[in-house]
């Protein structure tokens, strides 16, 4: 399956530079720890959440200099969650983005600590971002803390559900937290950094919730239809772990239908925002295409 749509946004370089500035290879800290953090931070991730922050921020009038730190912070949280999810006691994955996972490369204790340090840093980065007003930073920090807690709760529920028959509502609840919370936060963050009105923030959060769902459905579909090589991570692992995914519960066709519905609701939410939201529409198409 070829990806028909290009990944929207053009911020990966800016985010990489910001991450490199915030966590340079040369430093006077714990060498191996920083090496492990950078191993996972610079593993070729698409910077999906940073792209959402930039897209949303630009739509709502955020300045270019106001966006990189928050984008880097969210990528740090996301990376820490991948490191911990891959651990032997969790999903026990050896391969991520086409190379060894953090614990395979650096050992388990270093991987746990690298994740811990990335989480701590992410909050500090926003607290220290002098490009943002104090009020904006606090709104972001509160929202990020909440999203990070929800993400962890979702991962816990996901692990507890392994091997059990659970309902479609339960699957949705798990992923609204595990995957959705940080995606929703990303578009919210852009809106807060810009000057979105309350009604616009409601709409963008609905959009975020729906593309979070869409992201998860298409991720599940990729796990069924792709090879490990093309995915860069172990394919078929959901079925191997007897995870209750959308294709498992609804079949491939049913999951695709649910994806279409989520896409429609995401697009409808954008309609309520009287700004140039085309770039956010492109994320919907991109996600739909990757699952088709």
Handedness of CA 189, 57, 74, 205 (dihedral sign): positive
Residue from 95, 127, 249, 279 that binds its own copies (CB under 8 A)? 127
Q: Nearer to its own copies by C-beta: 64 or 108?
A: 108
Least gap, CB of 288 to its own copies (angstroms): 30
Convert residues 61-100 into a mask of x (bound to its own copies by CB under 8 A) and - (unbound): -------------------x---x--x-xx----------
- Minimum CB separation of residue 245 from its own copies in Å reads 19
Burial of 167 by CB count in 10 Å (0-12 exposed, 13-18 middle, 19+ buried)?
Answer: exposed
CB of 240 to its own copies, least distance (A): 17
Question: Binding to its own copies by residue 142, rule CB under 8 A?
Answer: yes
C-alpha to C-alpha distance for 186 and 76, rounded to whole angstroms = 13
Q: Pull the structure tokens for residue 106.
A: 């650096």
In the region spanning residues 158 to 187, those forming contacts with its own copies, defined by CB under 8 A, are 159-160
Of 12 and 153, which has the nearer Cβ to its own copies? 153
To its own copies, the closest distance from the beta carbon of 64 in angstroms equals: 22
Q: Rounded to an integer, what distance in angstroms lies between the CA atom of residue 12 and that of residue 45? A: 9
Does the protein bind its own copies through residue 149 (CB under 8 A)?
Answer: yes
The residue within the footprint of its own copies, chosen from 69, 74, 76, 113 (CB under 8 A), is: 113
Q: Which is nearer to its own copies, 18 or 284 (CB)?
A: 18
Please, what is the minimum distance in Å from the beta carbon of residue 220 to its own copies? Answer: 21
Verify binding: residue 254, its own copies, rule CB under 8 A: no
The residue whose two tokens read 């810009």 is: 194
Task: Give residues in contact with its own copies (CB under 8 A).
Answer: 29-30, 32-33, 80, 84, 87, 89-90, 107-110, 112-113, 115-117, 119-121, 123-125, 127-128, 134-135, 137-138, 141-142, 144-146, 148-149, 152-157, 159-160
């Amino acid at each position: 399956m070829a990806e028909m749509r290009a990944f929207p946004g053009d911020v990966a370089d800016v985010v990489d530079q910001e991450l490199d500035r915030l966590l340079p290879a040369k430093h006077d800290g714990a060498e191996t720890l920083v090496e492990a953090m950078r191993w996972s931070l610079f593993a070729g991730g698409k910077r999906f959440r940073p792209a959402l922050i930039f897209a949303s921020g630009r739509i709502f009038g955020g300045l270019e200099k106001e966006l990189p730190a928050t984008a880097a912070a969210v990528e740090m949280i996301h990376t820490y969650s991948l490191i911990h999810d891959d651990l032997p006691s969790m999903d026990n994955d050896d391969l991520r983005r086409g190379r060894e996972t953090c614990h395979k490369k650096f050992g388990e204790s270093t991987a746990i600590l690298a994740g811990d340090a990335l989480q701590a840093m992410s909050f500090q980065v926003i607290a220290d971002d002098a490009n943002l007003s104090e009020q904006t930073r606090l709104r972001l920090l509160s929202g990020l803390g909440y999203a990070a807690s929800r993400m962890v709760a979702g991962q816990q529920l996901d692990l507890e559900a392994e091997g059990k028959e659970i309902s479609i509502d339960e699957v949705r609840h798990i992923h609204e937290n595990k995957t959705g919370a940080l995606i929703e936060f990303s578009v919210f963050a852009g809106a807060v950094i810009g000057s979105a009105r309350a009604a616009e923030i409601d709409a963008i959060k609905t959009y975020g919730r729906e593309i979070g769902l869409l992201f998860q459905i298409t991720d599940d579909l990729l796990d069924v239809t792709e090879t490990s090589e093309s995915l860069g991570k172990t394919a078929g692992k959901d079925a191997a772990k007897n995870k209750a995914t959308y294709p498992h519960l609804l079949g491939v066709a049913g999951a695709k239908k649910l994806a279409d519905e989520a896409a429609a609701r995401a697009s409808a939410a954008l309609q309520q925002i009287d700004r140039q939201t085309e770039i956010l529409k492109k994320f919907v198409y991109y996600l739909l295409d990757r699952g088709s």
